[in-house]
Amino acid sequence: MNARSGRMLLGISLVAFVSLGLPDGVQGVAWPSIRGAFHLPLSQLGVLLAAAMAGYLLTLHEIAVRHAARGSSRPRRGEEPGMVDREGRTGLA
């Protein structure tokens, strides 16, 4: 591996790391602004978090169903839960 491809791999890794962790961190930081803009009570934060959790669990269920239908409990080579499948759906919420 030469220096250019090493830097490119490092950049891709950084972007992947940030994009996977960003949604969780943004919810907590953005909630005060969202709450003020829409005049929501603090209790509505639970609704937002419940919706995010439901999306995550539904996605995991879909992955499990696809693997069960295929007769395999492990992903195929090169297939990860976060990858986009043929229908354009991602494995992560």
Q: What is the pLDDT of residue 54?
A: 87
Q: What is the pLDDT of residue 23?
A: 72
Q: What is the pLDDT of residue 93?
A: 42
Q: What is the pLDDT of residue 40?
A: 92
pLDDT < 50 positions in the chain:
92-93
Q: What is the pLDDT of residue 5?
A: 83
SS3 42: coil
64 token code pair: 């499990």
Residue ranges covered by each domain of the chain? 1-39, 41-93
**CA distance to 6, 19, 22, 26, per residue, from 14 (Å):** 12, 9, 12, 17
Q: What is the pLDDT of residue 20?
A: 73
Q: What is the pLDDT of residue 76?
A: 60
